[in-house]
Amino acid sequence: MHPAQITVVVIVFNDADRIATAVESALAQGDAVGEVIVVDDASTDGTREAVEAIAARHPRVRPLYRTQNSGGCGSPRNDGITAAAFPYVMFLDSDDVYPPGAADALLAEVAPGIDVVAGSCVRRELPENRDTVWAPALYDTSTGATLPGTVLKGITAHPEFLVDTLSVNKLYRRDFLAEHAAVFPDGPFHYEDFVFTAKVYAAAPRMAVIETPVYIWHVRRADAALSISLRRATLANWEHRVEAHRRVVEVFRTADLPDLAVAAQTKFLDYDLPMYVRELAQRAPDYRADWWKHARTYLADFDPTAYESAEAPSRWLARALTAWPRPVELDRVMALAAQPPRLLPPSYTNAAGEPTLSGRHPEVVLDGLSALPTEKLPVTVNGTVSVGHTLGFTLTIPELHGLLGPLDPQRAVLRLADQHDDLPARIREQPLRRTEDRWQATFDVTTKDLADAARLVSWRVQADVICKGGERITTEVRAAHPGVARRRVVPRLGRPLLVQIHVTPRGALMVRIAGGLHGVLDVARHRLKRLLAR
């Protein structure tokens, strides 16, 4: 048990139904939380009444009411920092929660000289309750993270920490924030966490890193009012993100940290840019044209070192945007932004024999392609599916600028993974047959083995290419052509199965199978949701 040391700042706007759950999760942290300041940003939906009811029951809850809505999240958080009475500060949004023991786990790392303690954030997809770790390369030791259990003196030696732009998964020494004027942008500024976190990092805090989950970020994709991070379908969202990133770079340059400024640009190329590019297939032509123009204008001012430091596929992607005034070769550009990246066939070279992204527009050279480690080669695996009592998969792997032949691909692994991760993966392995400049393997999977009577099951289609020396290349399977998508009812004893071969907007294959009444109802709900979205 810790004596009261923490002020939790909860911000809320028009969220009367959820604010009590968020505040209760803060109070449940125990005596270490001395107060919970709830800053209501001039709500109009009954939130104020909900907050007053909570404060009447809990003396540790202290409401603050803004008289005018700020239009963003920064101003109410700054109000909370100013009003904080305890030596440490944490932040919480009204639609999220703390897991049990978060405050104690963070305080356990506090020692003389420690300014910030950073812990793991869990993104929880609702209503499925599917959890993933935010920034696993930083916090998840099971995937190779090495920083948990260490104390950093600033992040100059670990610029990879720039990926963590969250303010809510950390405990801050209040005096440290005051000494370095580490506050959020005021007013209607989106992605305010980016700028605040950059100010914290620029102040070179002694920061302890732990693996313990300390924040649960609720992701509600079906909500009528989406969170800022989920509004990527609007051009304004991209413009807000770019402006926030521009401010981040300015923060590091002003602090005379040019290496971190360049690292922030590299992070933008490797992380932010591909996120939006891989969604371009879902956007209208006008959006694509405006987005492209805005993106290439911003990228034109990047430090050349940022391009050189970026991952090869991201570097090629950014150079395509700056080289081509209009959206061209979109399929090839979006494939570079896939996870993992793909380089679509056919292979092109320029007059000098260098590999290029496009034949019609050979300006973008694929520099560094041959130097990539085998597991990072942007291999494309094309797939077709025949539908019946068994699903017949044919995987085709085209040559990649002559790099696959010397590796001698021997076998292919087909992996069907439940999108919700509730069911075990279905795995098949077959030898590869080479024909001229491609390799091919076929697989059979019994349709009924993929069904679940309780729900519609969506299977991601993935593949591993195993080479003679044991090297393994993992990727998602791309639909060989748009005609792959189809729907068919497969008869069987009992209830029939509805099988749909689906192609995602990014071109990946998926298999959806509905068995039983619940599965059919799921299909109907999905179709209704798509119709309403249109």
Say which residues have a Cβ less than 8 Å from residue 393's Cβ, sequence separation at least 6.
383, 384, 385, 414, 442, 443, 444, 445, 461
| Per-residue model confidence (pLDDT) at position 534 | 45
User: What is the average pLDDT across 18-29?
Assistant: 97
Paired tokens of 444 = 């059979």
In this structure, the strands spanning 61-65 and 33-40 are parallel
| Per-residue model confidence (pLDDT) at position 463 | 98
396: part of which helix (H) or strand (E)?
A: strand 390-398
pLDDT averaged over every residue in the chain: 92
| Per-residue model confidence (pLDDT) at position 260 | 98
Reported in sequence order, the residue ranges of 94-150 that DSSP labels E, i.e. its strands, are 116-125, 130-133
| Per-residue model confidence (pLDDT) at position 220 | 79
Paired tokens of 302 = 């990047």
Query: Is the Cβ–Cβ distance between 197 and 165 less than 8 Å?
Result: yes
| Per-residue model confidence (pLDDT) at position 227 | 59
Residue 494 has pLDDT above 80, yes or no: no
Q: What are the tens digits of pLDDT across the range 251-277? A: 999 999 999 999 999 999 999 999 999
User: What is the average pLDDT across 35-48?
Assistant: 96
Q: What are the tens digits of pLDDT across the range 152-167? A: 999 999 999 999 999 9
Q: What are the tens digits of pLDDT across the range 227-251? A: 555 667 899 999 999 999 999 999 9
Residue 530 has pLDDT above 80, yes or no: no
| Per-residue model confidence (pLDDT) at position 448 | 87
CA dist 507 and 485 (Å) reads: 10
Buried b or exposed e, range 82-92, using 16+ CB within 10 angstroms: eebebbbbbbb
Paired tokens of 92 = 């919480």
Q: What are the tens digits of pLDDT across the range 328-337? A: 999 999 999 9
Paired tokens of 59 = 């003396």
Paired tokens of 307 = 């391009």
CA dist 173 and 7 (Å) reads: 10
Paired tokens of 403 = 């790099």
Answer with the residue of higher pLDDT: 226 or 141: 141
In this structure, the strands spanning 497-503 and 486-490 are antiparallel
Query: Is the Cβ–Cβ distance between 143 and 137 less than 8 Å?
Result: yes
Residue 189's pLDDT band (boundaries 50, 70, 90)?
Answer: very high
Residue 525 has pLDDT above 60, yes or no: no
Residue 519 has pLDDT above 80, yes or no: no
Query: Is the Cβ–Cβ distance between 447 and 390 less than 8 Å?
Result: yes
Query: Is the Cβ–Cβ distance between 512 and 458 less than 8 Å?
Result: yes
| Per-residue model confidence (pLDDT) at position 225 | 56
CA dist 407 and 405 (Å) reads: 5
| Per-residue model confidence (pLDDT) at position 247 | 98
In this structure, the strands spanning 116-125 and 61-65 are unpaired
3-state helix, strand, coil in the chain (%, to 5): 35, 30, 35
Could you give the count of Cα atoms lying within 13 Å of 14 in the half-sphere of its Cβ?
A: 8
Residue 4's pLDDT band (boundaries 50, 70, 90)?
Answer: confident
Q: What are the tens digits of pLDDT across the range 190-235? A: 999 999 999 999 999 999 999 999 999 999 766 555 455 566 789 9
| Per-residue model confidence (pLDDT) at position 218 | 95
User: What is the average pLDDT across 407-432?
Assistant: 95
Q: Is the peptide bond before 127 cis (omega within 30 degrees of 0)?
A: yes
Q: What are the tens digits of pLDDT across the range 453-474? A: 788 899 999 999 999 999 999 9
| Per-residue model confidence (pLDDT) at position 481 | 82
User: What is the average pLDDT across 83-88?
Assistant: 98
Which residues, listed in sequence order, are joined to residue 216 by a DSSP beta bridge? 97, 122
Paired tokens of 294 = 């805005």
Q: pTM above 0.75?
A: yes
Q: What are the tens digits of pLDDT across the range 283-330? A: 999 999 999 999 999 999 999 999 999 999 999 999 999 999 999 999
Query: Is the Cβ–Cβ distance between 447 and 389 less than 8 Å?
Result: yes
Residue 490's pLDDT band (boundaries 50, 70, 90)?
Answer: low
